[in-house]
Amino acid sequence: GQSLEQPSEVTAVEGAIVQINCTYQTSGFYGLSWYQQHDGGAPTFLSYNALDGLEETGRFSSFLSRSDSYGYLLLQELQMKDSASYFCAVPGGSQGNLIFGKGTKLSVKP
Amino acid sequence: DVKVTQSSRYLVKRTGEKVFLECVQDMDHENMFWYRQDPGLGLRLIYFSYDVKMKEKGDIPEGYSVSREKKERFSLILESASTNQTSMYLCASSLLPSGGAGNEQFFGPGTRLTVL
């Protein structure tokens, strides 16, 4: 089967850098995605890594190591609005469904 | 922009009632999904559909059924609602049928269902 592990909660201060880790076990691997969800809101797509290495999009970066079955989301210059839950996800099969981790709740303090 | 809409933001039903949750997407996406989200459990896939009239069970299909008669619409049906189905229900859609850069899922705002 497929499973993903990520920390349940992370706390950081404004302006800091935080890293949210995700380890996965899959029968086949097509890439690692990250989604953000604010309280009361819908999940929104942040990034996708199919190959090893770092992908940067503004203040957010995502890293993948396929040999280690590991990835992380890096948030720099944290802002209060980054307080949200962050989910990693892998494709569940060839039909396009995703398997999500249980989410990491990030709290950014002043 | 892709838009995924769900018929209700909040819904209160009684045990044993039949409940319909509707989801519509406006970007001609092939795939549509229904998840439920509960605290500490993340998003769990109930059913998904990769084409009209096609459906696949997800991780927790028991107590649910789905219908996809038109490409843009995917309905979740609770045949006989129970209190353990009280949850947030999220619908999503995606363009491509397989894993890859295009498998980004677009989510609706969710329906918070309470079963009394």
pLDDT digits (tens, 9 = 90+) for B9-41: 999 999 999 999 999 999 898 899 999 999 888
Joined together, the tokens standing for residue A102 give: 């249980």
- Using the Cβ of B39 and the Cβ atoms of chain A, whether some distance falls under 8 Å is answered with no
Please say if the pLDDT value at position B98 is more than 70.
Answer: no
- Using the Cβ of B101 and the Cβ atoms of chain A, whether some distance falls under 8 Å is answered with yes
Q: Which one-letter DSSP state was computed for residue B102?
A: G
Task: List the single best residue of A44, A98, A105 to mutate versus B (max B Cβ within 10 A).
Answer: A98
CA–CA separation, B109 vs B88, rounded Å? 10
Please say if the pLDDT value at position B1 is more than 60.
Answer: yes
Task: Assign B110 a pLDDT band (cuts: 50, 70, 90).
Answer: very high
Residue of A nearest to B89 (CA): A42
User: How long, in residues, is chain A?
Assistant: 110
- Angle value at C-alpha B3, between B27 and B60, nearest 5 degrees: 90
Q: Please give the helix or strand (H or E) that residue A13 lies within, else none.
A: strand A9-13
- Among A102, A49, A97, A104, residue whose Cα is nearest residue B33: A97
Is residue B88 within 8 A of residue B6, CB to CB? The reply is no
Is residue B84 within 8 A of residue B78, CB to CB? The reply is no
Q: Looking at residue A97, what is its pLDDT? A: 78
Nearest to A91 among B43, B103, B106 (CB): B103
- Using the Cβ of B42 and the Cβ atoms of chain A, whether some distance falls under 8 Å is answered with yes
Beta bridge partners of A47: A34
- Using the Cβ of A50 and the Cβ atoms of chain B, whether some distance falls under 8 Å is answered with yes
Is residue B8 within 8 A of residue B19, CB to CB? The reply is no
Task: List the single best residue of A8, A36, A95 to mutate versus B (max B Cβ within 10 A).
Answer: A95
> Which regions in chain A score pLDDT beneath 70?
1, 93-96
Q: Looking at residue A92, what is its pLDDT? A: 76
Please say if the pLDDT value at position B100 is more than 60.
Answer: no
Q: Do A96 and B108 touch (CB under 8 A)?
A: no
The pLDDT tens digits of the residues spanning B76-97 come to 999 999 999 999 999 999 887 5
